[in-house]
Amino acid sequence: MSGHDSYIKPEIVAAARKAECQESGPLVIGLDPARFGVDSSAMAWRRGRKVSKVVRRNKLSTMECAGWAKQVIDADKPARMFIDVGGLGAGVYDRLVEMGYGAIVRAVNFGSAPLEPPKFDAHGRELGGGPLNRRAEMWMASRVALEQEGGFDIPDDDALQSDACGPGYKYDSNTRLVLEKKDDMVRRGAASPDGWDAVVLTFAEPVAPEPDSAGLDDYTVDY
């Protein structure tokens, strides 16, 4: 990463590769389908502070990727599967809904507005700060997780660290975070960060587990 100013710094990713955290809370899965079916589609599994695995599959068609997602949902019973619906992902999401998984899958558009609205002062002027879009918002959430006290646990994998540290960044005129686009990364010779995009998708929305028999006192939210 020499000479590259990455948004997520290599040292915090390296620490997460060595951390040991217990799984807790609901299982949340992020799926980043390859945009044109020729690159790697990636899927990440996370419970609380632990990303247990990230799996890549190459050259999947829309139907093949939807079939893979169906197998994972049936086997692992996630509370949510968040899917990037740019390019190939829209067809994957639509097929899963058609197959009856609408209660599990959620569509995420990386280029849409962030969930957290902008802040304004007493005169109605935007205060600035925060993320430009959903992609930047989720990457911010993943960096917060990596930096949190108590640690964050990810697979000890060089390719995943390369993905996490791949995008550069800047701030716009309203001091909003703007992440480097995938196409711009490819033009400078960097790989598309598919593995970490799958991880950040697990931070798309808060996910609440089903209340158990102990009652609502045990109802918590994992984010």
Q: Per-residue pLDDT averaged across 139-153, rounded? A: 95
Query: Which among 117, 114, 132, 133 is positioned nearest to 174, based on CA atoms?
Result: 132
- Mean pLDDT across 139-163: 96
Of 58-67, 122-131, 149-158, 202-211, least confident by mean pLDDT is 122-131
Q: Which domain CATH number covers 128?
A: 3.30.420.240
182 lies in some domain: yes
Which pLDDT score is estimated for 209?
A: 76
pLDDT at 190 over 90: no
Residue 210 lies in a domain: no
The pLDDT, as a whole number, for residue 86 is 86
* Residue 27, domain member (yes or no): yes
Q: Which of the four pLDDT bands, split at 50, 70 and 90, describes residue 218?
A: very low
Find how far residue 199's CA is from the centre of its chain.
4
The top-scoring range by mean pLDDT among 2-16, 98-112, 205-219 is 98-112
Q: Is 3 within the bounds of a domain?
A: no
Q: Within a domain: residue 56?
A: yes
Residue 223 lies in a domain: no
Residue 27: predicted pLDDT: 98
Cα 198 off chain centre by: 5
H or E element at residue 65: helix 62-76
pLDDT tens digits along 51-99: 999 999 998 999 999 999 999 999 999 999 999 998 889 999 999 999 9
In a domain? residue 149: yes
Domain count, the chain: 1
For residue 63, the enclosing domain spans 10-111+118-198
pLDDT at 38 over 70: no
What's the rounded Cα separation, in Å, for the pair 26 and 80? Answer: 8
* Residues 35, 184: Cα–Cα separation, whole Å: 15
Q: Would 1 be classed as within a structural domain?
A: no
pLDDT, residue 211, reads 61
Task: Find out whether 202 and 30 touch, Cβ atoms under 8 Å.
Answer: yes
User: Out of 23-32, 75-84, 202-211, which region has the weakest mean confidence (pLDDT)?
Assistant: 202-211
